[in-house]
Amino acid sequence: MNESLMLLVIVYAFFSSLLLFALIKSNLHYFVKATIIVLAVVFYTLSYYGWKEAQGWPSTTELPDKFFFHHGLIQEPNKEAQDEGKITLWVSEVYNNQLADTPRAFELPYSRQLHAQVEQAMIKTKDGRDQIGFQDRENRRFRAESDRSLAQDDKHSVYFIDLEESALPEK
């Protein structure tokens, strides 16, 4: 747990104790007091997980439609350890042909197809050919219409292309 999450826990504990003290001294009905306490705990939990998503932990949300690929980490499934495997991508969203300021880590479930694509993108990046990634929504939609079981396995369908080098302006 890093310092900002620990500070968040301390702040919420302080405000929760203030809320508890105020509720004890108030003349509200017990049902209202219990509801307020439960809501405080629920909001604390939601904000903790929201901060966890914002603090650099890999996001499990969907990848951006278009992104610049920085690097990937492939963790293959391990049946002995009952680990299903995962693929972590470090990407920067591309919006209106502009890169986001900071890259973001995304965690995707392991699939052989994604493994091969990410491995190929890492090789090309290492060779100096930057990669742009795209969500393959059309292919996913076509598969969902033709075979529901295939669509479940290929929830995170992406593809990569080489980033064209921009021509330098003439002097």
> In this model, does residue 146 exceed pLDDT 70?
no
> In this model, does residue 45 exceed pLDDT 60?
yes
**Residue 11, exposed/middle/buried by CB under 10 A (0-12, 13-18, 19+)?**
exposed
pLDDT in tens, 54-92: 666 788 888 889 999 999 999 999 888 888 999 999 999
User: Domain locations in the chain?
Assistant: 3-54, 66-162
Report d(CA 68, CA 45) in Å as an integer: 33
Instruction: Provide the whole-model pTM.
Output: 0.61
Supply the mean pLDDT for the chain.
Answer: 80
